[in-house]
Amino acid sequence: MQDMIQSIISEDLVAAMDANLVEYWSAFGLAPGRTWHRSKKVAWFYTGISAAILNGVLFAQLSSESLEKTVKSLAAKIAEQGVQAIWWISPASKPPNIGALLEEHGLQPVGDAPAMAIDLSKLDDKPQEIPHFRIIKVDNPELEAVWAQILNIGMGFSEDIAAEVVKLIASRAVPLYQIQHLYVGFVDDEPVATSAMLLDSGLAGIYAVATLPQARRRGIGKSVTVTPLIEARNLGYRVGILQSSQMGHSLYEKIGFVDVFKYANYLQS
């Protein structure tokens, strides 16, 4: 078992959160026909799918010169395929003035994404019971396709983008559910919610939490977030993390997550 992050106040937490984020998105950048670049100083991916979050720089500890080189490398992909990309800038990113340098290169700040963590020992292990609701862990290609479809609808992607994401997820030689833990929430026999968990860098990272509009405000989003975390705790993990949207922030606080820092996001067009 990898070395666990023991506490939400660990001095290694920020670096581990960055590493978990990189590993989650690597599954998409490494898919056939996509671009994945990783070194000790930078990690970026480009799927070419027309949603900026599906393309971008995940980790950067660069000099001013190598930052410019990375901007140009990504710009070449954008010029070729016409899809914007997001840079994720954390407290560990370098150089220290990286935000200002990105703006000098024409990138635009597009807000912050709270990076949150939870002490799993304090997690409520008795999630709210929701009538007719159950969560199934993905273990076959058919259910993986359902997961992808519900995720896309819950995220508000267009039909064209959704079709591309489904194709991307299905294209991997090793199915996504064998790399990550994927979950689908059902009301009766209707899929209505998704989540994903990546166990990496000593952390349980929660991703892809999405609920269909008609199933919201019933505790379903909380359930598909908490269920994987309980599983992680049973496996010996001490800390769970996620990157929150503004809409989901209050929900995650109620679960027990606290803000660690904020990713500053920059858009490269």
For 66-109, write each residue's pLDDT tens digit: 999 999 999 999 999 999 999 999 999 999 999 999 999 999 99
**Alpha-carbon gap, residue 134 to 156, rounded angstroms:** 23
The structure tokens listed for 157 are 């992607």
Q: Are 216 and 130 in contact (CB under 8 A)?
A: no
Task: Tell me the pLDDT tens digit for each residue of 242-255.
Answer: 999 888 899 999 99
Give me the chain's average pLDDT, please.
Answer: 95
Q: Which range (126-140, 155-169, 250-264) has the least confidence?
A: 126-140
Helix (H) or strand (E) holding 114: strand 108-119
Q: Are 242 and 116 in contact (CB under 8 A)?
A: yes
Task: Tell me the pLDDT tens digit for each residue of 120-142.
Answer: 999 987 767 899 999 999 999 99
Q: Which residue type occupies 73?
A: S
> What pLDDT was estimated at residue 95?
97
Asked if the bond preceding 95 is cis, omega within 30° of 0, the reply is yes
What pTM did the predictor assign? 0.95
**Alpha-carbon gap, residue 267 to 269, rounded angstroms:** 6
- What's the whole-number mean pLDDT along residues 234-240? 97
- Determine how β-strand 42-46 pairs with β-strand 181-187: unpaired
Helix, strand or coil for residue 20? helix
Helix, strand or coil for residue 64? helix
The torsion angles phi and psi of 58, rounded to 5 degrees, stand at -100, -25
> What pLDDT was estimated at residue 129?
85
**Alpha-carbon gap, residue 157 to 150, rounded angstroms:** 10
- List the one residue out of 65, 63, 21 whose CA is nearest residue 44: 21
Helix, strand or coil for residue 187? strand
